[in-house]
A and B are shown apart, each in its own frame.
Chain A
Amino acid sequence: MIYFDKVTKIYQDKIKVVDDLSLTIEPEEFVSIVGYSGAGKTTLLKMFLAEETPTNGYIFFESTDINKIKNSKMGKYRQRIGTVFQDFKLLPNRTAYENVAFAMESAGKTDAEISSDVPHVLNLVDLGDKMWSFPRELSGGEQQRVAIARAIVNQPDVLVADEPTGNLDPHNMKDIINILKKINELGTTVILTTHNKEVIDLLGNNRVITMEKGKIVRDKNGGYQL
């Protein structure tokens, strides 16, 4: 489903952040990418989201070469991918409801679909009673759940979560990981990056890829090794 083919990314300071990396991710997989800061995990995801372009190599989503997607078609591509970030990236001037609704509006959903799906998804992440709160009125864990609701409301093929628990306490961390597991069980491919051993322990026997200096040094099911 997702193919990284000999991908290299060199930033302007000439440091190789991702180095000749090849990787295949199958549908409905739950893949965790672990590694120290600077190992290239986030850059890898940014290239998958077409936020960054690889210096060398290709990235395919099904049969689409991501770097050949035109700016005007980028929205359509990104609607197939849900994204969750460490810093949540919610729209600060919109309520939880409006943040989730925005993703649906962007995908051209009708008003009727929006008014039925948004409360449903927010209930799913246990935020039914805080639908009309602004991000600043929500805790970190709540904000991250809004972000997850926004990421899954369009039923994407892939959910990308970049250190989703990085800013959360252990209790909220467990919540978020459980939600992600549930989403995966319902058939969505999940790619998660983390440097937290507890997160990997919570995920049991799923695939874990360890990155170091832009290369994959370990690719096995279960276990956390740095």
Chain B
Amino acid sequence: MFITNIKRIFKTGFVNFCRNSLVSFSAIFVMIATLTTILALILSNVLLSSALDQIKNKIDINVYTTIDASPDEIFQLKETLEVLPEVDNIEYISREQALLNFRERHRDDNLTLQALEELDENPLGAVLNIKAKEISQYAGIASFLESEAVLLGYGDNIIEKVNYYNNKIAIDKLNKIINAVKNFGFASAVILIIVSILITFNTIRLTIFISRKEIGVMRLVGANNNFIQGPFLIEGFFYGLTSAISTTIIFYLILLWTNPFIENMFFLDLLSYFNSHIFSIFFILVGIGSSLGIVSSIFAVRTYLKV
């Protein structure tokens, strides 16, 4: 009997979903809006993190060593720095490479190149490019470089210049912006999601409000509560499923169209990210949509089951 009942509840739910097409359509429409909001927030978060990562990657501290510093001394300094927990990696650029880089950078600047030719020897020292794990850690690394321990370790000071202080303002500002964007993004996401969930909840309540008399009739005919409530839950599930399918398709089409612009702006191929995560995206949407539909239905039907 239990299986027969489950079968009947599914069948009735599906038939109601199809027959009340206008009502289903409005519920699905609102739910698509909700799922679109949620998915848009997920994807913009992906874009934002990727953009921030790229910006972060561009930040480093360059330690310019004196031209007298021997590679041994520089490597010793490099090893000392690598032990620091804040340091992610350190790139060593030899004097020769630094010169090549300089020439390359001033390829079109004949005056500078000519001036360089005038010099007898390479005027550039070797450089250590230090990348920290977090932007906020650069200050720590910079003060370590300033500390006497480092300076005393090599008799002569081999460090010509640390460019952190030039970048400090920019780094601090960027750090603040990144935090603000993260917090603002999170807060607005929470608000948007709550609002759209409430709208969906109310729409489904309205669809069930339309059926309140029927629910009363079913009670009078002798149907028990589970048997009345079941089909509404199935309908709620179908709202979620249909909306999730539609939202996934809509986003795929939008991304097909906008991906070139996005790639241009954020240097991230969002379409291939979407394609490679399509199953998890779809299941997240089905999960959110159907639980929203089912929970709203439970609350809404309950009101009318008291006859």
A residues near B (Cβ < 8 Å) are 49, 51, 71-72, 74-79, 81, 83, 89-93, 102-103, 105-108, 110-111, 150, 154
Contacts and interface: CB of A to CB of B under 8 A. Distances in A.
B219 interface: yes
B146 interface: no
A79 B222 contact: yes
Contact of A106 (B19, B213, B222): B222
Interface residues of B, number: 21
B219 A93 contact: no
A51 B227 CA distance: 19
Nearest to A79: B222
A54 B10 CA distance: 38
Contact of B227 (A77, A81, A91, A106): A106
A77 B221 CA distance: 10
Contact of A108 (B1, B16, B220, B306): B1
Contact of A103 (B19, B20, B213, B221): B221
Given A105-B8, A111-B4, A91 B214 contact: yes
Interface centre among B4, B219, B227 (most CB of A within 10 A): B219
B225 interface: yes
Contact of A72 (B1, B8, B20, B224): B224
Contacts of A154: 222
B217 interface: yes
B307 A51 contact: yes
Interface of B: 1, 4-5, 8, 16, 19-20, 213-214, 217-225, 227, 306-307
A105 B10 CA distance: 13
Contact of A102 (B213, B221, B307): B221
Given A51-B307, A93-B16, A78 B4 contact: no
Contact of B222 (A78, A92, A93, A110): A78
B156 to A, nearest CB: 90
Contacts of B218: 91, 102, 106
B217 A91 contact: yes
A106 B223 contact: yes
A111 B219 CA distance: 21
7 contacts: A49-B220, A75-B224, A81-B222, A92-B214, A93-B214, A102-B221, A103-B222
Given A93-B20, A105-B227, A83 B220 contact: yes
Given A105-B8, A108-B1, 8 more contacts: A77-B222, A78-B220, A90-B217, A91-B214, A93-B19, A93-B214, A102-B218, A111-B4
B229 to A, nearest CB: 12
A51 B220 contact: yes
Closest CB pairs A-B (n = 5): A106-B223, A79-B222, A78-B222, A75-B224, A89-B217
B20 A150 contact: no
Nearest to B16: A93
A101 B31 CA distance: 33
Contacts of B1: 108
Given A93-B19, A108-B1, A71 B221 contact: no
A30 B222 CA distance: 22
Given A92-B214, A105-B227, A110-B4, A83 B19 contact: no
